[in-house]
Structure 1
Amino acid sequence: MCEGSLRVRFPALVGALAVACTGHSATKTSPPPKPVDYVAMGDSAAAAPKVPDPAPPPGCQKSTNDYPSVLTRRITPARFTDVTCSGAATEDITGQEQLTSSGPVPPQIDAVTSETTLVTITIGGNDVGLASEASQCRATSINAPPCADKFVTGGVDRISAAITAHVPVWAAMIDDVRAKAAGARIILVGYLTYIRPGGCFPDEPVTPKDADYFQSKLNELDDRQKQLAVDKHIDFFDTRPLSVGHDMCAPPDQRYVEGFIAVHPAAPLHPNAMGAAAVGNALADYLR
């Protein structure tokens, strides 16, 4: 239908058909994608303390090979700001200076601007006292009284109660980030699998009951944040599946998390370089 008697009776239609047949119609072009401006926030699970090499400020015990840095080398953002800091709680992200051994650091959210397009956050362990409590539960015997029993009083689990109490705190944090960077993709990055069912006493000095208890509390924290991410229409990146079999009980060359005594350059009970690399690379694949 590109020629013939239509020319006389329907000149406008013929003109339109001519454009269609010759392929010279104007096409809309999408604007170029906005350059990635990435801000990483969080605690020591993100900062990877004592993993070479140290990044400033020294008081945050942050590594140049933490998972945000690994991710950055994969996605090459136009701008990367890593404000993760060991010891951080949610209030150090949203509201107050964090006091460190090298002086105070500003609230992490100060790094977020209207130009920010990607934000990762790992937070919560210090809010509910998981790291500090677990570090005090070393057992000298597999038959030692479980440390976990002291966290339950009158049928109330203290750590579970703290997790529940912090869900609205984490929700407010997400709202604060969104208020500063309305178009940013926000990803809550969960905690790794730290220890397998039953633990591995005596390789790691924690009783089977305590091993299961502390991992269950990490799972509870991750699961509550996962649901919060759904409620807030943001992402939750679950690192537990990728770290199964790579917990502190794994052989040293397969271990993503250090045990009570670190065998790699990393802080005890924290991710090592392999763990940070695994999370950073998995996040890069997730963002494709």
Structure 2
Amino acid sequence: PRVLPPDPPSRTELLLSVRRALAAVSGLAFIPLLFTASPAAAESADINYVALGDSYSSGLGTRDYDDSGDCKRGPSAFPELWAASHAPGSFDFVACAGATTTDVLNDQVSALTPETNLVSITIGGNDVGFADVITTCRTGSDAACDERGEEAENDVRDVLPALLDQTYGAITEAAPQAQVVVLGYPSLFELGPCGVGSIGETKRVRLNEMADALAGGIEDRVAAAGLTYVDVRGGFEGNRVCADEPWINGTAVPLNESYHPNKAGHSEGYLPALTGAVG
């Protein structure tokens, strides 16, 4: 007998077939997305981050602080910004305005554990009296600025290395598995016109030279310790004090806000520097 062809599928059956095909394709497409997204999430969840250091880490200058009192920690500081964007498994923020290497050793290293695997720090400026250098240059003569700067540079050469070696050694002993990222300090000033009442250009040149000496001294000891150094000076060029859009405060009220990175300095200067070193 003659075999008749099957009846053509109904419209409903056609729609069901299309939906099944789309579901199969969508499911296959979704599988690699799961595998590409999961490692990144897992990587962040595995990070135990501790932020150490002085005012350049704590956020003094941003005018946005939590209940940390004189430490001036706040949500606009670069460690907080990095933690907010990466969601690490743990985050401990103990940087404090005014901290010296002694303060890090006495009050901050205790936040580290063998599980800590990421540490950031800015330290050394207060050990060589850089705030006093700026005050002297702001209020004194060119000669007084140069003399005080020379004293600070001598301390960078003769005193600071041993202090940094001790500090970096304590950090690596307390957190032996950690990537330790040491961020430097920016030079503070743009040259050229800077408005009435600003620090004169001769002093600005001298202060930038001192900042360069400090950066070089820190970088040398970081290299000796086998840690990661991040030079932020290039990132701040064009946006220092006297720029049209400065990322560093000039003379400010209250005075302790002066010559520290503002919110933009943390989000546009320091945060990309840390992210570039860590991811």
Same fold? TM cut 0.5: yes
How far 1:139 moved relative to its partner? 5.2
Partner-residue secondary structure (3-state), 1:147: helix
Q: 1:147 to 1:206 in 2, by over 3 A?
A: farther
1:110 aligns with 2:107: no
Does the 8 A contact of 1:120 with 1:188 survive in 2? Answer: yes
Q: Can you list the C-alpha shifts for 1:194-224, whole angstroms capped at 9, x where unaligned?
A: 1124x64444622222111111111111111
How far 1:150 moved relative to its partner? 2.9
Structure 2 residues without counterparts, runs of 5 or longer: 1-38
Does the 8 A contact of 1:114 with 1:182 survive in 2? Answer: yes
Higher helix share: 2
Does the 8 A contact of 1:204 with 1:249 survive in 2? Answer: no
Structure 1 residues without counterparts, runs of 5 or longer: 1-29, 96-106
Does the 8 A contact of 2:51 with 2:92 survive in 1? Answer: yes
| Structure 1 partner of 2:249 | 258
| Structure 1 partner of 2:29 | none
1:275 aligns with 2:255: no
| Structure 1 partner of 2:199 | 206
1:195 aligns with 2:195: no
| Structure 2 partner of 1:175 | 169
| Structure 2 partner of 1:60 | 71
Q: Can you list the C-alpha shifts for 1:82-126, whole angstroms capped at 9, x where unaligned?
A: 11111111100003xxxxxxxxxxx11111111100001101111
Counterpart Cα distance in 2 of 1:269 and 1:41: 20
Match of 1:230 among 223, 228, 231: 223
Counterpart Cα distance in 2 of 1:61 and 1:89: 15
- Of 276-285 and 239-248, deviating more is 276-285
One-letter code of the match for 1:131? Answer: A
| Structure 2 partner of 1:149 | 146
Partner-residue secondary structure (3-state), 1:182: coil
Match of 1:248 among 241, 252, 257: 241
Q: 1:49 to 1:234 in 2, by over 3 A?
A: same
Partner-residue secondary structure (3-state), 1:113: coil
- Of 119-128 and 42-51, deviating more is 42-51
- Of structures 1 and 2, the larger Rg is shown by 2
Counterpart Cα distance in 1 of 2:243 and 2:124: 25
Q: CA RMSD in A?
A: 2.4
How far 1:138 moved relative to its partner? 2.3
- Of 239-248 and 129-138, deviating more is 129-138
Counterpart Cα distance in 2 of 1:111 and 1:195: 34
One-letter code of the match for 1:222? Answer: A
Match of 1:87 among 95, 98, 103: 98
Q: Can you list the C-alpha shifts for 1:224-272, whole angstroms capped at 9, x where unaligned?
A: 1112222111100111111000001111xx2110001369xx9111110
Q: 1:273 to 1:169 in 2, by over 3 A?
A: same
Does the 8 A contact of 1:128 with 1:159 survive in 2? Answer: yes
Partner-residue secondary structure (3-state), 1:124: coil
Higher strand share: 1
Normalized against structure 1, the TM-score is what? 0.75
| Structure 2 partner of 1:216 | 209
How far 1:146 moved relative to its partner? 3.7
Q: 1:56 to 1:173 in 2, by over 3 A?
A: same
Partner-residue secondary structure (3-state), 2:49: strand
Normalized against structure 2, the TM-score is what? 0.77
| Structure 2 partner of 1:21 | none
Does the 8 A contact of 2:57 with 2:77 survive in 1? Answer: yes
